[in-house]
Amino acid sequence: MKILAVGDIVGESGVRKLKELLPNIKKEKNIDFVITNGENSAGGMGITEKNFKDIIEAGTNVITMGNHTWGKKDIFRFIDDPRLLRPANYPKGVVGKGLGIFECMDKKIAVINLIGRVDINILTENPFILAKEMVDDLQGKVDIIIMDFHAEATAEKIAMARFLDGKITAIFGTHTHVQTGDEQILPNGTAYITDIGMTGPKNSVIGMDIQVSIKRFETALPEKYKLAEGECILNAVIFDIDDISNKVTSIERMNIR
């Protein structure tokens, strides 16, 4: 089985790029299941129902979110769709869910969405404690466990991967929008990459307009972010999973410019 994880969709141009490329990627790479992070798809912050439908119709099986989950109020209209996951470590009682179980090719695939706490200004529960509880509860119930860990700090992502090594199939990082070159299979069999990158404007500062971004750093004034325009890239990673052992045999990064 091949599972494709697509990096953070940035803006409507990123959505269009996904719609343009994903069908061919699935065909050419024999992709069976697709996870797409959509938390920046609506103007760079949040997701609308139209974005959600477009990403699903492009060929995505499940959409994960992050620190901009609530960026658009529209999300409350479709937050209970089983194909949409928000970070599981939001406080108890918050609408939505952070775990989904999906069936594909006679396999049960659990997808977990968690958010980090280092340098992210959101009050959430400890992702390590919750990850252990969730993974322990899933043992024997599913064949494959994939985690999108939406976090800023590289150390926090690596620590989570080592913490769960051998207990889940794969963990990939999102949020920083820059694809890292550290894809690997850890000693106990869990596949890992620190960040899978983004799908959005190529000539940008992580998807945002270059001059506006520079001005924010140069002046320290709260300049409003603006999405960049022009040609888009698509970043993703493919996990090739053995049908018998349910372990990842190889990881392939994709950087389509």
E strand or H helix that includes residue 155: helix 154-164
* Distance from the Cα of residue 100 to its chain's centroid: 14
Q: What does the block give as tokens for 174?
A: 């999102």
DSSP state of 91: P
Residue with tokens 């996870």, as numbered in its chain: 35
Residues with a known catalytic role: 68
Q: What predicted TM-score, i.e. pTM, was given to this entire model?
A: 0.96
For 2-256, which CATH superfamily applies? Metallo-dependent phosphatases (3.60.21.10)
pLDDT greater than 90 at residue 224: no
pLDDT greater than 90 at residue 225: no
Q: Band of the pLDDT at 223, cuts 50, 70, 90?
A: confident
Q: Where are the alpha helices (DSSP H) in 45-105?
A: 49-57
Mean pLDDT over 17-30 rounds to 98
Upper half-sphere CA count for residue 72 (Cβ side, 13 Å): 22
The total number of residues written for the chain in this structure: 257
Side chain identity at residue 131, one-letter code: A
- Give me the torsion for CA of 78, 114, 34, 166, rounded to 10°: -150
Q: CA 63, 82, 162 angle in degrees (round to 5)? A: 55
Q: Calculate helix-pair angle for 11-29, 49-57, nearest 10 degrees.
A: 20
Q: CA 72, 89, 87 angle in degrees (round to 5)? A: 40
The string of pLDDT tens digits covering residues 37-74 is: 999 999 999 999 999 999 999 999 999 999 999 999 99
Q: Band of the pLDDT at 222, cuts 50, 70, 90?
A: confident
Which pLDDT score, from 0 to 100, does residue 195 have?
98
Distance CA 232, CA 211 (A): 18
Q: What does the block give as tokens for 1?
A: 């089985």
The string of pLDDT tens digits covering residues 163-200 is: 999 999 999 999 999 999 999 999 999 999 999 999 99
Instruction: Classify the C-alpha dihedral 205-65-161-111 as positive or negative.
Output: negative
- In this prediction, what percent of the chain has a pLDDT beyond 70? 100
Mean pLDDT over 125-152 rounds to 98
Domain boundaries, the chain: 2-256
